[in-house]
């Protein structure tokens, strides 16, 4: 079985370094956290889950047909699921490009629907997970509030990837299985 998902990787080092600075603040908050490694930061378009190896090739074929034009995303502000007072997941929001990400996610879902993969349970919300809260809250709500409108920068989305996720005791290891480039790239 292969655990996989479809995502846009964060590949801008300037944005990643700003996120690293925020992660340092989060770490000092007094909660027990699992920070997302900078090289693993991504916007999930669709979590697929565990599928048989034979199905991976069919997923690649389905994704090959997804067409989109390049667009810009702008990362602004911290938030949390289910909410900032009881954070389980701390994320960076997407201001510009949220509609395009939603449309791209819908195209991916439409392509994968032909393979009879179960539909996502939750509605797509564009976000970049930067930390998972294991226990405690500490001063996380205050830090999230103070960074509610922090500007982290913009990047061009001109590709998305099918990623394999191998879970280890140290955290997930991601591997790109297939890449889809935007039209004209």
What is the tally of structural domains in the chain? 1
Q: What CATH code is carried by the domain that includes residue 22?
A: 3.90.1140.10
Q: Which domain holds residue 94?
A: 2-181
β-partners of residue 155 are 73
DSSP secondary structure letters along 25-42? HHHTTSSEEEEPPGGG-E
- Residue positions annotated with a catalytic role: 42, 127
**7-28 pLDDT tens trace:** 999 999 999 999 999 999 999 9
Q: What is the DSSP code (8-state) at residue 95? A: -
**82-120 pLDDT tens trace:** 999 999 999 999 999 999 999 999 999 999 998 988 788
Q: What is the pLDDT of residue 117?
A: 86
């Amino acid at each position: 079985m292969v655990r996989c998902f479809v995502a846009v990787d964060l590949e801008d080092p300037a944005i990643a370094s700003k996120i690293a600075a925020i992660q340092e603040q989060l770490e000092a908050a007094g909660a027990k956290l699992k920070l997302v490694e900078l090289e693993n930061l991504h916007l999930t378009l669709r979590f697929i889950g565990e599928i048989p190896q034979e199905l991976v090739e069919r997923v690649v074929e389905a994704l090959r047909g997804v067409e989109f034009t390049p667009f810009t995303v702008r990362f602004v502000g911290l938030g949390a699921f289910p909410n900032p007072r009881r954070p389980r997941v701390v994320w960076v929001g997407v201001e510009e490009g949220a509609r395009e990400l939603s449309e791209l996610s819908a195209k991916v879902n439409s392509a994968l629907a032909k393979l009879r993969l179960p539909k996502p349970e939750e509605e797509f919300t564009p976000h970049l997970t930067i930390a998972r809260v294991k226990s405690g809250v500490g001063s996380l709500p205050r830090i999230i509030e103070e960074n509610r409108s922090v500007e982290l920068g913009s990047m061009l989305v001109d590709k998305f990837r099918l990623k394999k996720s191998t879970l280890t005791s140290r955290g997930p290891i991601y591997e790109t299985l297939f890449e889809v480039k935007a039209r004209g790239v």
